[in-house]
Amino acid sequence: MQKERWMVAGKKADFTAIGKKYGIDQVTARIIRNRDIIEDAEIDKFLNGKLTDLYSPHTMKDMDKLISILKEKIEAKKHIRIIGDYDIDGIQSTYILLKGIERAGGVVSAAIPDRMKDGYGINENLITKAKEEGADTIITCDNGIAAIEAIAYAKEIGLTVLVTDHHDIPYTEENGIRTYKKSLADAIVNPKQEDCTYPFAGICGAVVAFKVIWALYEAFDIAEEEVMEFLENAAFATVGDVMDLLDENRIIVKYGLEKMRYTKNTGLAALMQQKEILPEKLGAYHLGFVLGPCLNASGRLDTAVRSLKLMLSEKEEDAAALAIELSDLNEERKRMTIEGVEAAQELILREGIDKDKVMIVYLPKLHESLAGIVAGRIREQYNKPVFVLTDAEDGVKGSGRSIETYSMYEEMCKCQELFSKFGGHPMAAGLSLAKENVEIFRKNMNVHATLTEEDFIPKILIDVPMPLSYVSMELIRDLEKLAPFGKGNPKPVFADKNIRIRDKRIVGKNGNVLKLTIQDNYQNCYSAVYFGDAKAMYADLEKNSIVSIVYYPEINSYMGKEEIQFVISGYQI
């Protein structure tokens, strides 16, 4: 991997005036400006956004049409079959629709595709099964927008089909002109549709489902406070599906986390207890990196139905048993991931794949559910777009993870004739193709790639170059007003130079944490910690080495005593 390039965000504004107006430190004001939040109304919403600022479901195209059909089916006691997906977003979407339609009096059941047998989204087998089991209507969540043929089949056999999704609309492109594919679904609710007037398209499938139930409850005169019970599910999915934590998403996650800390959901409470998360300490990090992977693990190594069962559990003993199973599955997934990453690294070096602009890594024996995770780890190492492919029952399946300068989904559209199935976002994608097309796929993606060496240099954007001595407990608490942090609203990055290493030691049960004592220009000493490759940093730094660091300050509480600690995320000698 190339050395990081550190750059300072140079966005200008009157930070003193902003600080005074909103009662925040000028450093906090500078970070808000760096997130391109400029207008007064935007700043106010970012800092003080309320549930009343959430957008009306009715501004989404086809929402009223879908609700009209759904209400009619519920009142006629027609069997409604939900078809979800096997990841966090799909599980939470399915849960929201299932509980919401039940509450409105509907006859409803749910099916989640088996990753290995069914692949992603609605398909003919799931449709046939729904019909055989007496379903009159299918409603999708977190999928369906790309299932043109499957939905045509469902209509052919007499089913009503309602699509709720958030993925990009499939299209063909000829001579630079895009033609979006038409679906025969009876109603499609997806904010990515061209003529949809919804103000913020960056929501996940569970938020779309949340908005559908919101509108449905209005149609049945069910109190709005009841729909707000699903905020925690929408928040979980927003973080789990790596949506930008800006605009409406920020409000959903902020209030969803508050709700989840005192959750009435027996399954969620059991999972939090199993992972030893104190409710008052619950944050976006736990959703993305502790709880979320447990829900995802069932969809990867077993069946996501198990995660849905956890969400639906009402007895504490059942929920506790399922939470243990999901946690154990995730530990197994971690072990298999390490093996997969090691196999990928060996293949890359042996075949010189690291020289390619777009890295296509074919590991026939890798468990297909791990392709995306392994692709993400390799992407982190090389800072290049990566596809990891593996053998599946019907050919080859794979997942891709991209970098900011490369829209994976758009590039795949240029050679879509190679795929039997594909879909995704600019930053991630999934695909199926015939084995004989693997090498053609590799060549095509690299021939068409316009990436330059500059694109492969990881860039660290520093919000504020700030002396360690400026940091106070008050500033750290002020910075917490910027939370929740995540994609689109990362933790602020600060930097200081001429920092002397006074002491260093490796700690942690896996030896993956480096504890440091550091000293600044004014001879002040501070406690610091590094969570990257601890052994590499230990080897790089001699005692009394002088380094530049990028960091984030936090308050470390231990045995009733609070002290400032600097979390170092990068360093240069």
**Cα dist. 276→216, 258, 323, 561 in Å?**
36, 18, 12, 22
pLDDT tens track of the chain, all 573 residues?
A: 447 899 999 899 999 999 999 999 999 999 999 999 999 999 999 999 999 999 999 999 999 999 999 999 999 999 999 999 999 999 999 999 999 999 999 999 999 998 777 777 899 999 999 999 999 999 999 999 999 999 999 999 999 999 999 998 988 878 778 889 999 999 999 999 999 999 999 999 999 999 999 999 999 999 999 999 999 999 999 999 989 999 999 999 999 999 999 999 999 999 999 999 999 999 999 999 999 999 999 888 778 999 999 999 999 999 999 999 999 999 999 999 999 999 999 999 999 999 999 999 999 999 988 999 999 999 999 999 999 999 988 899 999 999 999 999 899 988 999 999 888 778 889 999 999 999 999 999 999 999 999 999 999 999 999 999 999 999 999 999 999 999 999 999 999 999 999 999 998 777 789 999 999 989 999 999 998 788 888 888 888 889 999 999 999 988 788 999 999 999 998
Q: How far apart are CA 450 and CA 178, in angstroms?
A: 20
- What is the CATH code for 54-231? 3.90.1640.30
- What is the CATH code for 352-456? 3.10.310.30
CATH code 2.40.50.460 region(s) in the chain:
5-9+459-572
What lies within 8 Å, CB to CB, of 221 at 6+ separation is none
Q: How is residue 335 written in tokens?
A: 């072990």
Say how far residue 69 (Cα) sits from the centre of its chain. Answer: 31
- Cβ atoms 139, 81 nearer than 8 A: yes
Question: 242-263 burial, b if ≥16 CB within 10 A, otherwise e?
Answer: bbebbbbbbbbbbbbbebbbeb
**Count of CB atoms situated within 10 Å of the CB of 512:** 14
- Cβ atoms 255, 235 nearer than 8 A: yes
Mark out the alpha helices in 104-189 (DSSP H runs): 124-132, 148-156
**Cα dist. 328→57, 114, 369 in Å?**
39, 20, 16
**DSSP state, residue 72:** H
Name the class of domain 5-9+459-572.
Answer: mainly beta
Strand-pairing partners, residue 79, are: 107
Q: How far apart are CA 19 and CA 239, in angstroms?
A: 29
Rg of the chain over all Cα atoms, to the nearest angstrom: 25
Say how far residue 332 (Cα) sits from the centre of its chain. Answer: 21
**DSSP state, residue 86:** S
pTM for the structure as a whole: 0.90
CATH code 3.10.310.30 region(s) in the chain:
352-456
Q: How far apart are CA 333 and CA 498, in angstroms?
A: 42
Strand-pairing partners, residue 111, are: 83
Maximum CA pair distance of the chain?
A: 78
Q: How is residue 174 written in tokens?
A: 């000829």
CATH code 3.90.1640.30 region(s) in the chain:
54-231
